[in-house]
Chains A and B, each alone.
Chain A
Amino acid sequence: MSAPSIPVEAERRELRPAPQPLRRSLTKVPVYVLLGIGAIFALVPFVWMVSTALKTPGQLFKFPPEWIPNPVAWGNFGEAWTALPFGAMVLNSVFVTTLAMVGELGSAAVVAYGFARFQFRFRSVLFLLMLSTMMLPWVVTLIPGFLIWKQAGLINTFDPLTVGSLFAWGPFYVFLLRQFFLGVSRDIEEAAIVDGANAMQVLWYVMLPLVRPVLLAVAVLSFQGNWNNFKGALIYIQEPLERFTLPLGLQFFQASISNEAPRWHLMMSMSLLMVIPVVILFFLAQRQFIEGIQLGGVKG
């Protein structure tokens, strides 16, 4: 299957001669109005987030609300950075995300290749079994999983957040990659096999380069998923603060917010610092994001 390319589709439609241009565009007015209302609903909270991140405590709850704080409290970012061991948390998040992404993608590619290209007994049963684990609520495996890591003496280390990724813990990624391996013509592979390449070499040198766009889409989703992994950190990392990842740091800080200490300006600057990498990635790799999401839905 090929990913639908939407921009081309849209252009084609606009090029099509409209019989009554004025009336046609007039009937679209309600469409634009509704879309605009939706867009405002989507954007206003963002603007408020940025605005709050740049306020002094005194400006937080002014009435009527102040959109552009005066003065702009740029110092909030510095204060937010030192209110928690933020530097350590950023490093931890980067470390965990990198290892988990590499493990997740690498193992998913290997497993997907096995499911896509080799005939063996029970293959479809095993594949179905793998897909069905996606439906299993995470809380069912939560406590025994915790006990395994506890037995191994690895609570409060990054192992539970990273080592598990080597076991292709994202069945959805295996599924996506398999679909695309299925679409690659066998001739290309066979040429490599005749040249004496083994399965891993074929995967690395032939198959992966061919499905690079999908791999990128999966990488983007995987980055987002691991960077935002709150549950895992909450369960497995309890202390010290220097070992927290960013999501856990945010959760720790939010508990200190109260009516007496409304530190919302710091909370929002921390949140901004945390989401900036994902927002940048989104704008750089928008196509991959959106394709990754679409693939999941269309194939489902």
Chain B
Amino acid sequence: MFQWYAETLVRYLLVAAAIVGVMFLTYRGLRAAGVRREPATGFALIIPWFLGFLIWNLFPVAASLYLSLTDYNVLQSPNWVGLANYQQILGSDERFWASLRLTMAYSAITVPLGLALALLAATLLNQGVRGVGLWRTLYYLPAILPVFVTALLWRLLLLPTRSGLVNSATEPIWSLFGDSPPRWFLDPDTVLWGFVIMSFWGVFGANTVIMLAGLKNIPKDLYEAAEVDGAGLLPKFRHITIPQLTPTLFYLLVMGIIAGIQVFDQGLFVKVPQENFLNVYLYQQGFTFFHMGYASAIAWVMLVIILVLTLVVFRSSTAWVYYEGEVKR
């Protein structure tokens, strides 16, 4: 068994040596071609990333675009099918649309609400409470668990009937309305809400910490000036805190959208009755059914969705992200 380690270790060291070799040759080559010392060193130093970019980004992106236009299935060499995969995905693939709906609904709910909750937590922590460090640790704790452990834990907490802690604790509330408690991940109608609740648990981690740092960076004299003018808590929050924090919010929104649409780990650790997230569907197409051409096409559809959404947020940012000058609403 240690042989596996040894083999990987040898190849790892060989690749490392090869990269260093390429760096050295790049430097020598550039110097021989009459490039000055500084640019030659600079180029040589970024070689590890540049090689990686060619091998792990540029080539795969081009290859996956090509594969998306073929019927590649691992066993046979790819046959060109033109846009057929895309036509099938967008035209008649019910499972694609169902996964897309779940994924988009999930992002549309969790990204903005998650930001709002994290902002609430950060604002509270910023009120000069005692033991900020301790509170911050408590709020960050759920975020140190890997997503899939969180998923397992919430799958347990959200078990149906009285088995799950959530349902046994809230049963009186449901029976008050004459309802039986939801069956969460076992009922296609409530799967989304199971995932949403799960996501809120981890949301306080990174986002709260980043927003708290953002809040600390707001100049104190802005608040002091507003207090002199007699501004209350809410006006201060609305006219100072929010505008000053918009660069942070913008960053977190973009990152949140990109991550939200790509949710994956959760989906593979929770059994759901019908459709799962888009990436889980893609994974099944590619690695369970080996429809690799088809899966590549789904990946490109996802890339386009992410690009469009990011572009929209970037475009809108001129209207609401405050860097200097007045806030436009």
Residues of A bordering B, CB below 8 Å: 4, 6-7, 9-10, 13-14, 28, 31-32, 34-35, 38-39, 41-46, 48-49, 52, 60-61, 63-65, 88, 95, 99, 103, 107, 110-111, 113-115, 117-121, 123, 126, 129-130, 133, 135-145, 147-148, 154, 157-159, 162-164, 166-169, 171, 174, 199, 224, 227-228, 230-231, 234-235, 242-243, 247, 250-251, 254, 262, 264, 267-268, 271, 274-275, 278-279, 282, 286, 289-290, 293-294, 296-298, 300
Q: Hey, which chain A residues are within 8 Å of B7, CB to CB?
A: 157
User: On chain B, which size bracket covers the interface?
Assistant: 35 or more
B1, B51, B64, B132: the one contacting A10 at CB < 8 Å is: B132
In the complex, 5 of the A-B residue pairs with CB atoms within 8 angstroms, ordered by the A residue number, are: A65-B165, A136-B61, A137-B261, A290-B136, A293-B210
Q: Hey, which chain A residues are within 8 Å of B210, CB to CB?
A: 293-294, 296-298
**Among B81-89, B93-101, B122-130, B234-242, the stretch in contact with A:** B122-130
Please count the residue pairs between chain A and chain B whose beta carbons lie under 8 angstroms apart in the complex: 305
Q: Which of B128-176 contact A (CB under 8 A)?
A: 128-130, 132-133, 135-142, 144-149, 152-154, 156-157, 159, 162-163, 165, 168-169
**Among B105-113, B223-231, B292-300, the stretch in contact with A:** B292-300
B67, B120, B156: the one contacting A52 at CB < 8 Å is: B156
The reply to whether B42 and A123 contact each other, CB–CB distance below 8 Å, is yes
CA distance A64 to B168 in the complex (A): 7
CB distance from B48 to the nearest CB of A (A): 4
The reply to whether A9 and B216 contact each other, CB–CB distance below 8 Å, is yes
In the assembled complex, B246 has its CB within 8 A of some CB on chain A:
no
A14, A119, A247, A271: the one contacting B153 at CB < 8 Å is: A271
B16, B129, B146, B292: the one contacting A166 at CB < 8 Å is: B16
The reply to whether A110 and B48 contact each other, CB–CB distance below 8 Å, is yes
CA distance A290 to B127 in the complex (A): 19
Give 9 closest A-B pairs by Cβ, nearest first.
A167-B52, A114-B45, A118-B42, A297-B210, A300-B251, A120-B39, A144-B60, A141-B60, A228-B146
Given A136-B61, A143-B286, A174-B49, 5 more A-B residue pairs with CB atoms under 8 Å apart are A6-B136, A39-B135, A119-B38, A120-B40, A167-B56
Q: Hey, which chain A residues are within 8 Å of B205, CB to CB?
A: 293
* Chain A interface SS verdict (over half): helix
Q: Hey, which chain B residues are within 8 Å of A243, CB to CB?
A: 4
B154, B165, B302: the one contacting A137 at CB < 8 Å is: B302
CB distance from B21 to the nearest CB of A (A): 12
The reply to whether B139 and A42 contact each other, CB–CB distance below 8 Å, is yes
CB distance from A8 to the nearest CB of B (A): 11
CA distance A144 to B300 in the complex (A): 13
Given A144-B59, A145-B60, A235-B287: A163 touches B15 (CB 8 Å cut-off): yes
Q: Which of B37-93 contact A (CB under 8 A)?
A: 38-46, 48-53, 55-57, 59-61, 63-64, 67
Q: Hey, which chain B residues are within 8 Å of A4, CB to CB?
A: 213, 216-217
